Amino acid sequence: MSNLKVFVLMAGLTALFIAIGGAIGGQTGMILALVLAGAMNFFMYWASASMVLRAYGARVVTAAEAPDLYAMVNRLRERAGLPMPTIAIAPHEQPNAFATGRDPNHAVVCVTSGILRLMPAEELEGVLAHELAHIKNHDMLLQTIAATMAAAISNLANFAFFFGGRNDDEGGSPYAGLLMAIVAPIAAMLIQFAISRQREFRADAVGAEISQRPLELANALTRLDAYARRIPMHVSPAVAPLAQVNPLAAYQGGLSRLFSTHPATGERVARLRALVSGAPSRA
């Protein structure tokens, strides 16, 4: 059910991208928008990992530099049936982690220096299993594409705002572009965030299977969320959805769930605890 929801959301994001292209330039605009989306996604397919690591200021480390971390990831990735990912450490005091890369053979698992210092080993194992679940589910590329599409929609909307939409001679309303300029970026952002929330729920469930420690992962999420509210992280909002908990929580107040890049931690914890109790959980 979760995968179906994401498919529908991605289809909506693509349709919105094409629609705003049409509002700006008619059929030609729709074709150009589609070509632009394809070109951006092709570029992100190859460059996403290096771009995300730069955004977090992360550095790839060797097994000699982080032997305990390597050993833990290696044990979990064998259990998940995955190739060994590249390991990186980001120099942030806030405990957090993320995965990136175009596919399981070119994946990166990155943790912050803060999580290595502040997270108990059994909970860190749950965190790493969650990130390996993202790799197994191909979530990193999906979320990168969603973010790229949303950004492109916003850029097209800005163009429409300053230059307007089609004129009457082209068979369209001159105000269509202006209307799309207002509506499209908000809709794209809501869809992107909804995709991110769905993939976090799925990664929690699969991560619990990999680590065989659903309660430890639940405790880790609670701990990460608390630290994120106390220890700020200076990172671009564009890459914030990739982190295990929202790294910008310290800068945000009571935001609506619709505008959240991550599900409520309490709901994630409840779903993980339901796995242990055998209670039904929504997909």
| 144 inside domain | yes
Q: Are 198 and 5 in contact (CB under 8 A)?
A: yes
Is 282 among the domain residues? Answer: no
For residue 144, how far is the Cα from the chain centroid?
7
Beta bridge partners of 87: 109
CA distance 175 to 172: 9
| Domain count for the chain | 1
* Residue 198, in any domain of the structure: yes
Q: Would you call 131 a catalytic residue per the annotation?
A: yes
d(CA 58, CA 25): 41
Which among 65, 78, 123, 131 is annotated as catalytic? 131
> CA of 264: how far to CAs of 156, 189, 201, 220, 270, in Å?
31, 18, 10, 14, 10
Bridge partners of 88, per DSSP, are 60, 110
Tens-digit pLDDT string for the chain (283 aa): 455 656 666 677 777 777 777 666 666 766 776 677 677 767 777 777 888 899 999 999 999 999 999 999 999 999 999 999 999 999 999 999 999 988 899 999 999 999 999 999 999 999 999 999 999 998 877 776 777 777 677 767 766 666 555 554 444 555 656 666 677 778 777 887 888 888 899 999 999 999 998 999 999 999 999 999 999 998 888 788 789 998 987 665 554 555 677 888 999 999 999 988 765 555 4
Q: Please say whether the beta carbons of 248 and 235 come within 8 A.
A: yes
pTM: 0.79
Q: Note whether residue 20 is domain-resident.
A: yes
| Interacting residues of 224 by C-beta distance below 8 A, sequence separation 6+ | 95, 96, 115, 119, 127, 244, 245
**Within a domain: 180:** yes
| The amino acid at 233 | M
Range of the domain at 41: 2-277
* Beta partners for residue 111, in sequence order: 89, 97
Question: Domain for residue 283, yes or no?
Answer: no
Q: Is 84 helix (H, G, I), strand (E, B) or coil?
A: coil
**Domain assignment of residue 7, yes or no:** yes
